């Protein structure tokens, strides 16, 4: 490691789970001379420096970014445009602006118009997180062995992309560069649809208590209570609730800004679920068994991939050794 850190002044805008974790990882790795926080929430501004997450904290976007070589937007996606507009007077040519949002096209669209000439936008998305929110939930190891996707527009400065890639590698991530449109589709199925389902099923379950069930099979309708659902959640339900605990504002913004891709995935999923429903109604044993066997095969693929990013994939999904070895 060189004597002088790769960054002089890094600004993290939004000290939530992701922002706090990145700040801690940068400090732990000695990657910046100064890590400056920026947050609109007074409670966060008090907590973040006290917990040693940032070296200093700012309320004024212009003051915060002045002299920064890297600005990381870690706020909900729909807040990014106006935030960068507010920062703009402090952004000097050569500064790199990156973000951690779960959608990429909408970020590029919202942020680009406000960037002064010579400021580079490198859209990013660390595919990492926990079900917890807020600065207290942050930890330096969150990004270790995770993928970070960078999704620059055509014509983005290659050196700026490489600088941001180095940062993510330094905090333990494997970096992939992807077209922003493609990113939004991939994440619609791997992350946004699962969240839509998770939020929905917990509501469906809780509603059972609010309504007498009408079950043709029984002359004696009995309510299923939320307490019972919670009590027996080890049967599968619990897996789904973990991601239903994710930050509501962040997820509201994801669904509003990746609408097209999410609506397509929802349509496909619902279609497939209704096919399953029909197979159950008509007692199509072979259809059910075939579908379930296929599910198990796909799961085996997930286990083999270890998610951690140690491998790359061939065109047919076969695992190959990564260029980094192993």
Footprint of a copy of itself on 94-153 (CB under 8 A): 102, 105, 127-129, 131, 146-147, 149
Number of residues that bind a copy of itself (CB under 8 A): 116
Burial (CB count within 10 angstroms: exposed 0-12, middle 13-18, buried 19+), residue 245: middle
Q: How far is the CB of 238 from a copy of itself (least distance, A)?
A: 6
Determine, following the binding rule CB under 8 A, whether residue 270 of this chain makes contact with a copy of itself. yes
Closer Cβ to a copy of itself, 56 or 213, answer by number: 213
Q: Report d(CA 302, CA 129) in Å as an integer.
A: 18
Binds a copy of itself (CB under 8 A): choice among 28, 144, 301, 321: 301
Q: Which of residues 165-184 bind a copy of itself (CB under 8 A)?
A: 179, 181-182
Which pair of structure tokens corresponds to residue 58? 């700012």
Q: How far is the CB of 15 from a copy of itself (least distance, A)?
A: 20
Q: Report d(CA 221, CA 214) in Å as an integer.
A: 6
Nearest to 136 by CA among 255, 251, 30, 46: 46
DSSP classification of residue 175: E
Closer Cβ to a copy of itself, 24 or 127, answer by number: 127
Q: Which of residues 198-257 bind a copy of itself (CB under 8 A)?
A: 198-209, 213-218, 220, 222, 224-246, 248-249, 251-252, 255-256
Query: 198 with 243: CB under 8 angstroms?
Result: yes
Which pair of structure tokens corresponds to residue 272? 């497939």
Closer Cβ to a copy of itself, 127 or 160, answer by number: 127
Q: How far is the CB of 161 from a copy of itself (least distance, A)?
A: 19
Given the DSSP bridges, would you call strands 7-13 and 32-38 parallel, antiparallel or unpaired?
parallel
Q: Report d(CA 245, CA 216) in Å as an integer.
A: 34
Q: Report d(CA 86, CA 97) in Å as an integer.
A: 13
Q: Report d(CA 323, CA 316) in Å as an integer.
A: 18
Closer Cβ to a copy of itself, 67 or 194, answer by number: 194
Closer Cβ to a copy of itself, 6 or 81, answer by number: 81
Q: How far is the CB of 315 from a copy of itself (least distance, A)?
A: 8
Query: 188 with 263: CB under 8 angstroms?
Result: no
Binding mask 3-22 for a copy of itself (x = CB under 8 A): --------------------
Q: How far is the CB of 45 from a copy of itself (least distance, A)?
A: 24
Given the DSSP bridges, would you call strands 96-99 and 70-73 parallel, antiparallel or unpaired?
parallel
Q: Which helix (H) or strand (E) holds 227?
A: helix 226-231
Q: Which of residues 31-60 bind a copy of itself (CB under 8 A)?
A: none
Closer Cβ to a copy of itself, 25 or 38, answer by number: 25
Which residues neighbour 323 within 8 Å (Cβ) at sequence distance 6 or greater?
Answer: 312
Binds a copy of itself (CB under 8 A): choice among 280, 321, 322, 324: 280
Stretch that binds a copy of itself, among 1-9, 31-39, 159-167, 262-270 (CB under 8 A): 262-270
């Amino acid at each position: 490691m060189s004597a002088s850190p790769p960054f002089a002044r890094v600004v993290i805008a939004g000290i939530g789970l992701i922002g706090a974790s990145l700040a801690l990882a940068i400090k732990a790795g000695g990657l910046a001379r100064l890590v400056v926080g920026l947050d609109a929430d007074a409670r966060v501004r008090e907590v973040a420096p006290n917990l040693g997450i940032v070296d200093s904290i700012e309320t004024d976007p212009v003051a915060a970014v002045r002299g920064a070589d890297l600005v990381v937007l870690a706020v909900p996606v729909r807040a990014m445009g106006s935030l960068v507009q507010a920062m703009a007077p402090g952004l000097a040519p050569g500064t790199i602006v990156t973000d951690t949002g779960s959608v990429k096209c909408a970020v590029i669209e919202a942020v680009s118009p406000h960037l002064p000439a010579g400021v580079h936008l490198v859209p990013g998305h660390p595919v990492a997180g926990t079900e917890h929110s807020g600065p207290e939930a942050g930890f330096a190891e969150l990004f270790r062995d995770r993928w970070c996707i960078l999704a620059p527009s055509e014509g983005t400065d290659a050196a700026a992309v490489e600088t941001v890639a180095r940062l993510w590698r330094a905090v333990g991530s494997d970096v992939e560069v992807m077209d922003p449109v493609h990113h939004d589709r991939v994440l619609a199925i791997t992350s946004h649809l699962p969240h839509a389902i998770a939020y929905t099923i917990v509501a469906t379950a809780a509603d059972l208590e609010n309504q007498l069930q009408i079950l043709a099979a029984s002359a004696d309708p009995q309510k299923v209570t939320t307490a019972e659902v919670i009590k027996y959640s080890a049967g599968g339900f619990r897996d789904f609730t973990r991601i239903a605990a994710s930050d509501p504002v962040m997820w509201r913004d994801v669904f509003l800004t990746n609408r097209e891709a999410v609506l397509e995935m929802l349509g496909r999923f619902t279609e497939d679920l209704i096919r399953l429903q029909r197979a159950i109604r008509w007692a199509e044993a072979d259809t059910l068994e075939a579908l379930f066997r296929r599910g198990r095969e796909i799961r085996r693929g997930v286990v083999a991939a270890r998610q951690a990013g140690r491998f790359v994939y061939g065109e047919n999904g076969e695992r190959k050794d990564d260029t980094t070895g192993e």
